[in-house]
Structure 1
Amino acid sequence: MFADDFFHSIPLAAVYFFTVIMVIATMGFGLLLGRRYMRLLGSEKEPSIGSAVTATLGLLAFLLAFTFNMTAARYDKRKALLLDEVNAIHTAYLHADFLEPAAARKAQLLLLDYAELRFFHPRKDEITPEGLAKSVAIQDQLWAMVQQHVVQGYEPGYLRQFVEPVTAIINSHNSRIVIGLEYRIPGPIWIALYFLTGLAMLAIGFQFGVSKGGSGQLAVTLGLTFATVILLIADLDRATEGVIIVDQTPMAEMNLILEEAERQKIRSPAP
């Protein structure tokens, strides 16, 4: 959908400044409308305006909370999937010893390459189709080894010890792609969020105009407040951009563990 891609492609800095400008502009427009109303039609009952403003702000707060919970839950899911993949890779490396000796060594080397491929710096490294294709190619090689053992009639109990973590690696890969790169806040929710924000600021500005209150400082404060909340939501919605990014330290530490295991194998080769 065009709206989904559009909102996801806008830089976060642009999201922040656009929101600030929109809040100040709509509040200013509402202020002008309120003052014009007072000049043309006289006074307006204050309670009725206050009730409308309260209802609009309540709907906006509900939508902000709903959207924030959606992105926060997906952020937590990305962290859990990272840990699941780290554990699956490490387990598969250890359980490769259940395979035939030649196949076990090949599987461990493939898993070492896979772990290095899966570790990246979110702010420096770009996720490319080529990199994802390399991950899938290694998964295919690991699964081909499983199929080869099945054809040879290898002991099912031993083979299962390796099949389960390899299956977990494949599932984690697919889940991380979908949840991290494809799932995002739908465009209609973004449209509704900005529409309600503009409507709420327009109502507040109108109330200020009718009551002859309000100030420029208050408008700027509200603009910065709502812009910060919306920026936080947009940041959480993006897996590889912004400040709130899933820490890749567990994958880096697991890489170090596997590299140390390889050095141990080189220093103490199996008889």
Structure 2
Amino acid sequence: MNFAVESLLLAGGLFLAMLAGMEAGRRIWLHRSLLDPEKSRQGTGIVEGAVFGLLGLLVAFTFSGAAGRYDARRVQIVDEANSIGTAWLRLDLLPADVQPPLRDFFREYLDLRIDLFRRGLLDESARAGLVRQAELQDMIWKRAQAGIAEDGRTHVATLVTPALNEMFDIATARTTATQMHVPNIILLLLCALAILCSILAGSAMAIPEGRNWLHMTGFAAMLSLTVLVTFDLEFPRRGFIRLDAADQPLFELRESLKSPQATGEFKQ
């Protein structure tokens, strides 16, 4: 099932569960008020304040963490584009006979990196892509080191080797970042706490004459939407919030690698 559909079902399920919780809270209060009208609300304010405060803290924590990881992934995309572009330009320092195969490897490597993240690292083909990525990194490194040894100039090694290291390091960092999410137990706790707060809210809003549908649906809808957005921020390649626009620096870099003038491969 599509992740966007799953997240919508989750938000919809939470919305309905919260409405049910508020209805349950209302009926609990009605039952207590029939037994003892004077004490039906005594002593509940402190507990309600503490639980709602905890809910607010948990919502802020999960949303802020998801938004921070989303922004970090955007920055990493730019960092990777810059590192690959820098390494590409420094290939000009290597002997001319070493450059053509290295540039072909670079193009394939960049295509692979773009494809991996566009399809998602959870895709079944991602494992094979990561294996191929490691092979390309190994081939780029070995051919570059052979070119450095052939050239023999110290400044070539000083400039080329760190650029390749940075290119490989940011690839590892981006791959690892896709696996960093808020623990599932916290997300489950958030949903459970939202339902508990719904029960308390239903009890607090209860009146014998009827239900306050505006407040009930408003509270459930806003909290459900907040959870939906938080989930999408945690998985920005799969839901409604997408990182596709942030990939533009990589696409622009790939376009520039097609041009001989942009790559240093000038025709004679």
TM-score (norm 1): 0.86
Q: Is residue 137 from structure 1 mapped to residue 140 from structure 2 by the alignment? A: no
Match of 2:80 among 82, 85, 110: 85
Amino acid corresponding to residue 129 of structure 1 in structure 2: R
In structure 1, the partner of 2:31 is: 36
Amino acid corresponding to residue 12 of structure 1 in structure 2: S
Against the structure 1 CA distance between its residues 92 and 126, is the aligned structure 2 distance closer, same or farther, given a 3 Å change threshold? same
In structure 2, the partner of 1:232 is: 229
Amino acid corresponding to residue 57 of structure 2 in structure 1: F
Against the structure 1 CA distance between its residues 26 and 74, is the aligned structure 2 distance closer, same or farther, given a 3 Å change threshold? same
In structure 2, the partner of 1:250 is: 249
Against the structure 1 CA distance between its residues 263 and 157, is the aligned structure 2 distance closer, same or farther, given a 3 Å change threshold? closer
CA distance in 1, matches of 2:210, 2:75: 49
Residues 122-201 of structure 1: matches in 2 within 5 Å? 125-127=119-121, 128-149=126-147, 154-180=152-178, 182-201=179-198
CA distance in 1, matches of 2:175, 2:148: 29
In structure 2, the partner of 1:260 is: 259
Against the structure 1 CA distance between its residues 167 and 265, is the aligned structure 2 distance closer, same or farther, given a 3 Å change threshold? closer
1:197 Cα shift? 0.9
CA distance in 1, matches of 2:209, 2:25: 12
Secondary structure, aligned partner of 2:257: helix
Does the Cα contact within 8 Å between 2:33 and 2:40 map onto a contact in 1?
A: no
Q: Is residue 109 from structure 1 mapped to residue 104 from structure 2 by the alignment? A: yes
CA distance in 2, matches of 1:91, 1:77: 21
- Which deviates further from its counterpart, 235-244 or 51-60? 51-60
Against the structure 1 CA distance between its residues 240 and 212, is the aligned structure 2 distance closer, same or farther, given a 3 Å change threshold? same
Does the Cα contact within 8 Å between 1:27 and 1:202 map onto a contact in 2?
A: yes
CA distance in 2, matches of 1:173, 1:258: 19
Secondary structure, aligned partner of 1:119: helix
1:9 Cα shift? 11
1:230 Cα shift? 0.4
Does the Cα contact within 8 Å between 1:35 and 1:212 map onto a contact in 2?
A: no
What are structure 2's unaligned runs of at least 5 residues? none
CA distance in 1, matches of 2:134, 2:19: 49
In structure 2, the partner of 1:50 is: 45
Does the Cα contact within 8 Å between 2:21 and 2:199 map onto a contact in 1?
A: yes
1:14 Cα shift? 1.6
Alpha-carbon deviations, 1:196-247, whole Å to 9, x = none?
Answer: 1111111111112368674233222211110000011100011321122222
CA distance in 2, matches of 1:149, 1:251: 26
Q: CA RMSD in A?
A: 2.6
In structure 2, the partner of 1:207 is: 204
Does the Cα contact within 8 Å between 2:232 and 2:240 map onto a contact in 1?
A: yes
Amino acid corresponding to residue 56 of structure 1 in structure 2: V
TM-score (norm 2): 0.87
Secondary structure, aligned partner of 2:64: helix
Secondary structure, aligned partner of 1:189: helix
Does the Cα contact within 8 Å between 2:256 and 2:262 map onto a contact in 1?
A: no
Amino acid corresponding to residue 107 of structure 1 in structure 2: L
Alpha-carbon deviations, 1:94-127, whole Å to 9, x = none?
Answer: 100111211122212211221222224967x344
Equivalent residue pairs, number: 260
CA distance in 1, matches of 2:158, 2:227: 47
Secondary structure, aligned partner of 1:233: helix
Amino acid corresponding to residue 34 of structure 2 in structure 1: R
